[in-house]
Amino acid sequence: MPVSIFRFRHYVALGSLLLSLTFASSAQTSNVVTAENNIQTSAPLTLTLQDALQRAKKNNPEYRAALTEYGSSREDVVQTRAALLPNVNYTAAFDYTQGGGVPGVGRFIANNGVHEYISQGNVHQAISLGGIADYRRSIAMEALARARAEIAARGLVVTVTQAYYGFVTAQRKFADEQRAATQARAFFDTTQKLENGGEVAHSDVIKAQLQMEQVERDLRASELAMNRTRIELAILVFPDFNENFAVIDDLQTPESLPSFAEIQTAAANKNPELRAAVANLQAAKQGVATAWNGILPSLSLDYFYGIDANHFAVRSDGIHNLGYAATATLQLPVWNWGASRAKLKQAGLRQAQANLELTFAQRQLLANMRILYSEAQGARAELDSLNRSAELASESLRLTGLRYKAGEALVLEVVDAQNTLTQALNALNDGQVRFRVAMANLQTLTGSF
């Protein structure tokens, strides 16, 4: 079984004792990090990865823009469906026309009299291939927007995962550099004492001093990296740029990797990019049907009921003014200088492009599955090797310390063992983050598993 990172730190502590090095425990180091970087009047908010994801979904503009587009497309479906159904309107109007010298006759022959009162309800129904095609196209565009919103959500998961575990790793590296700096200072003091006792040469002191100064520079760089990753995560998570928070380090428990067959099944059923390509093709096909509407006939029906009379009354002068009328209009396109055919050609080009994009999306999905699964598989396999390397590096430091005290090892060997342990721990941290990010990338194709 791989040895955890806490056990590695225990090995480091044993080796450091043998070298007469005194440094704080991991719990004290964590308190130092918190004190230096979270000086706030209130207790910091502790975030899990899921907490960070939920907060980021509320604040990320790209994801919210995708949701807005999806909501707008849903309203387009309502509007295009309403266009297929009968619409009812009410009209109230009064027309006054200058008299023409004859009682009740106006000068404008288009008007029905000097006074004309209109109070009517109108039921209107338009029947055309274009209306049906527009409705079907709006349904396809809604599916496309929904798929794009899912793509944005999964992309946000990758972004937040990178930022979250980047901060976790930066904190670990800062703690490791603090340990290394304390160790280097103590080793420098030890070499000075040994030199004063005539047990080692002055060159050992110089080498220990060089190592101490280098580690202190690395400590400052790691602190800067930790502060930068904290800010990057804060931008994603908080709307008010709050830096008073802490995160849960759960990198010690890596997720299990499903089989490739399970990945294939999930990708076939849940891949949003494939759904987006299918929806785009459906929308393009309905665009062709809409273009045909400019060539084919269209029919509209109207039914009117109410008053259109010279007096605003149900009956006047013995005449019953309340009544109804109906009209039917058939429109036949005849000539528009080729505009309708040009629109039809445009729609056909878009359909061909959408079909090409669908076939490419299918191929791209197969390729991405193999690539991302191989990356996740490799990152998972590396964890065991990185754990072993960290274990060996800690044991090497312990043994080198014993040999140095016995006068059998050079100062360069001790310094090299210290550097090797720091590099091994950093590689382990990076490997754990690499696996989590690889899993997040894989889930952009499959969804959660």
Q: H or E segment at 371?
A: helix 339-405
* Joined tokens for residue 111: 């008007």
**Residues 166, 314 within the same domain:** no
Indicate if the pLDDT at residue 20 is higher than 60: no
Please tell me what DSSP assigns to residue 116.
Answer: E
Angle between helices 260-270 and 339-405 (to 10 degrees): 150
pLDDT in tens, 206-254: 888 898 999 999 999 999 999 999 999 999 999 988 889 999 998 887 7
Among 243, 100, 220, 106, smallest CA distance to 167 is for 243
**Residues 339, 326 within the same domain:** no
| 136 vs 294: which has the higher pLDDT | 136
3-state secondary structure (DSSP) of residue 309: strand
* Joined tokens for residue 108: 């404008």
pLDDT in tens, 162-214: 999 999 999 999 999 998 898 888 888 888 888 888 888 888 888 888 989 99
Predicted local confidence at residue 46, as pLDDT: 92
pLDDT in tens, 381-398: 899 899 999 999 989 988
Indicate if the pLDDT at residue 320 is higher than 80: yes
**Residues 25, 138 within the same domain:** yes
CB 187 within 8 A of CB 397: no
- Helix, strand, coil percentages, rounded to 5, for the chain: 65, 10, 20
Predicted local confidence at residue 196, as pLDDT: 86
**Residues 50, 173 within the same domain:** yes
* Joined tokens for residue 41: 């009047």
Residue 49 to residue 96: CA distance in whole angstroms: 73
Query: ∠ CA(194), CA(404), CA(2), 5° rounding?
Result: 135
Residue 329 to residue 335: CA distance in whole angstroms: 18
Token pair 């990152």 in the structure block, residue: 379
Query: ∠ CA(91), CA(94), CA(100), 5° rounding?
Result: 140
Predicted local confidence at residue 29, as pLDDT: 38
Indicate if the pLDDT at residue 3 is higher than 60: no
**Residues 176, 264 within the same domain:** yes
Predicted local confidence at residue 9, as pLDDT: 43
**Residues 110, 29 within the same domain:** no
Token pair 């160790």 in the structure block, residue: 183
Predicted local confidence at residue 26, as pLDDT: 36
**Residues 355, 411 within the same domain:** yes
Predicted local confidence at residue 200, as pLDDT: 80
3-state secondary structure (DSSP) of residue 410: coil
* Joined tokens for residue 191: 């070499």
Percent of the chain with pLDDT over 70: 90
Among 125, 123, 120, smallest CA distance to 91 is for 120
Predicted local confidence at residue 27, as pLDDT: 35
pTM of the full predicted structure?
A: 0.78
- Measuring CA to CA, how many Å separate 122 from each of 111, 160, 229, 307? 20, 56, 64, 12
Region of poorest pLDDT, from 11-25, 231-245, 272-286, 406-420: 11-25
Indicate if the pLDDT at residue 109 is higher than 80: no
Predicted local confidence at residue 175, as pLDDT: 92
Domain count, the chain: 2
pLDDT confidence bin for 24, thresholds 50/70/90 = very low
**Residues 306, 435 within the same domain:** no
**Residues 303, 225 within the same domain:** no
Residue 373 to residue 371: CA distance in whole angstroms: 6
* Joined tokens for residue 372: 């991302």
**Residues 327, 337 within the same domain:** no
Q: What is the mean pLDDT of the chain?
A: 85
Q: Which of 14-28, 255-269, 347-361 has the highest mean pLDDT?
A: 347-361
pLDDT confidence bin for 402, thresholds 50/70/90 = confident
| H helices present in 271-338, as ranges | 272-292
- Point out the domain boundary residue: 282, 308, 332: 332
What number is the average pLDDT over the span 129-139? 92
Percent of the chain with pLDDT over 90: 55
Indicate if the pLDDT at residue 403 is higher than 90: no
**Residues 238, 372 within the same domain:** yes
Predicted local confidence at residue 36, as pLDDT: 41
Q: Provide the residue count of the chain.
A: 449
Predicted local confidence at residue 42, as pLDDT: 65
CATH code of 176's domain: 1.20.1600.10
**Residues 368, 314 within the same domain:** no
User: What is the span of the domain harbouring residue 191?
Assistant: 5-85+128-296+333-446
Q: What is the sign, positive or negative, of the torsion defined by CA atoms of 197, 198, 204, 209?
A: positive
